[in-house]
Structure 1
Amino acid sequence: MVESNSVGQTLSDQFLQFAVEKQVLRFGEFKTKAGRMSPYFFNAGLFDTGSSLQRLSEFYAQTLLEKTAALDLQFDMIFGPAYKGIPLVAGTSIELARKGRDIPYAFNRKEVKDHGEGGSLVGAPLEGRVVIIDDVISAGTSVRESVQIIRDNGAEPAAVLIALDRMEKGVRNGEDTVHSAVQEVEQHYGIPVISIASLQDLLRYLLTRQAANVRLAGWYEKVKEYRARYGV
């Protein structure tokens, strides 16, 4: 069970430890979509077993409940954009129900169905205040499409929940932007982006764990240098 005070660890610390154990969070040299050489890489698609998806969903559900309460933010349902958001929103809805918050969920298809019930939406009707659930925000395309779908159906986006906020400058026309993709989403749509963990959390985690874990040794300085160059 995920608990924010488990053995003195924060929820983000527990999540990062879990991601490292599952090799979803890796350290090395990785080329990003922006063409940068990053010392770390996060791929939520590698949470690819039933047990890992279940635990990941616990982190999403617990983060959503804790951070919306802290922000005094109300929501009525959750939405997962195709494709990575589909298992995330389904798993999170199960864990929310286990925590006493049984709410509707929906997701979209990328292809419009022309038989049966038709359309591109699956699940509950989009109503009220909707939280979008995804893995990360890179260019913001998935969020933009999700916001449009939600508004087209008469509902309102309330927040976005992601696993990791890289806190990194975006790139436009080959030049670094002032803001990150997360900040641009918050400013453009006027909604908060909530994350289970951030780059700041990752730096703290590496600093406190590198002495006890040989796989983490030396990466704190490299990630710190990367943040100094590209961080927001």
Structure 2
Amino acid sequence: MNWKKEFIDFSFKKKALKFGSFILKSGRTSPYFFNSGLLSSGKDIIKIGVLYAHSIIDSKIEFDILFGAAYKGIPIVVATSIALKNFYNLNIPYVFNRKEKKKYGEKGDLIGQKIQNKKIIILDDVVTSGTAIHYSINILEEKKAHISSIFVLLDRKEKGKRNLHTIHHLKNKNSYKINSIITIEDLISYLLEENKLKKHVPELIKYREKYGIY
């Protein structure tokens, strides 16, 4: 079992990945839904951190600090920092943001290392419209950080504004390197190998044909 299939199977069994009919924030009706928030045990977050760590190292991208956006990005960035230490002996600092700026004590909207002039990798769970990633980019650019790359668990490979693939739009606008661990194509391949789940394949293909970019 390859690591992509293993992660998809793991997410499905944990009910973080579901197939059916779901209304997304964008208003689209999707035949599948992924909620990383349901991967919430110690075992779950360790697995996610290891997955990100291996992907980051394999990419050979230079970076100084990991950034995770509140709230889902916080456990992801902590777990990845731990995995980088445990597997690669890299002591990589991390930072995350507050939803509201603190006006007393440790003031400001960021918690963790100073990021000015540092190379940052952004960690997120899913890319659909790209709104969350744009928000993270704005925070980091305001602090004069340099964004090395963006890593996501799932790229839905959907059209964003002006029918551009969300990730391609980010690349064109900002020239940031974006890496996805699994995509809708991986989900379709997984379903084709699972007899009890094959029935969902036509809906995913139909959705991809309507909203996807190849």
Give the TM-score taking structure 1 as reference length.
0.85
Match of residue 112, structure 1, among 91, 101, 110: 101
2:71 is paired with a residue whose SS is: coil
Instruction: Write the distance in 2 (CA, Å) between the matches of 1:219 and 1:158.
Output: 37
Is residue 131 from structure 1 mapped to residue 121 from structure 2 by the alignment?
Answer: yes
1:5-44 → structure 2 map (5 Å cutoff) = 7=1, 9=2, 11-44=3-36
Instruction: Write the distance in 2 (CA, Å) between the matches of 1:141 and 1:32.
Output: 13
Instruction: Write the distance in 2 (CA, Å) between the matches of 1:60 and 1:228.
Output: 29
Contact 1:210 1:218 in 2 (8 A): no
2:21 is paired with a residue whose SS is: strand
Gaps of 5+ in 2: none
Instruction: Write the distance in 2 (CA, Å) between the matches of 1:37 and 1:147.
Output: 28
Match of residue 150, structure 1, among 140, 153, 170: 140
Instruction: Please give the root-mean-square deviation of Cα atoms over the aligned residues, in Å.
Output: 1.5
Write the deviation string for residues 2-45 of structure 1: whole angstroms up to 9, x where unpaired.
xxxxx4x1x32221111111111101111122322211111111
Task: Tell me what 2:210 maps to.
Answer: 229
Contact 2:128 2:158 in 1 (8 A): no
Is residue 94 from structure 1 mapped to residue 75 from structure 2 by the alignment?
Answer: no
Is residue 210 from structure 1 mapped to residue 194 from structure 2 by the alignment?
Answer: yes
Task: Tell me what 1:103 maps to.
Answer: 92
Give the TM-score taking structure 2 as reference length.
0.92
Write the deviation string for residues 70-115 of structure 1: whole angstroms up to 9, x where unpaired.
xxx2111110111111111111111111122221110110111111
Contact 1:63 1:195 in 2 (8 A): no
2:186 is paired with a residue whose SS is: helix
Amino acid at match of 1:226: Y
How far did 1:184 drift?
Answer: 1.3
How far did 1:229 drift?
Answer: 1.7
Match of residue 62, structure 2, among 74, 77, 101: 74
Task: Tell me what 1:3 maps to.
Answer: none
2:125 is paired with a residue whose SS is: coil
Instruction: Write the distance in 2 (CA, Å) between the matches of 1:40 and 1:96.
Output: 31
Instruction: Write the distance in 2 (CA, Å) between the matches of 1:36 and 1:154.
Output: 35
- Figure out how many residues of one structure are paired with residues of the other and give that number: 211
Is residue 59 from structure 1 mapped to residue 51 from structure 2 by the alignment?
Answer: yes
Instruction: Write the distance in 2 (CA, Å) between the matches of 1:141 and 1:28.
Output: 24
Is residue 159 from structure 1 mapped to residue 162 from structure 2 by the alignment?
Answer: no
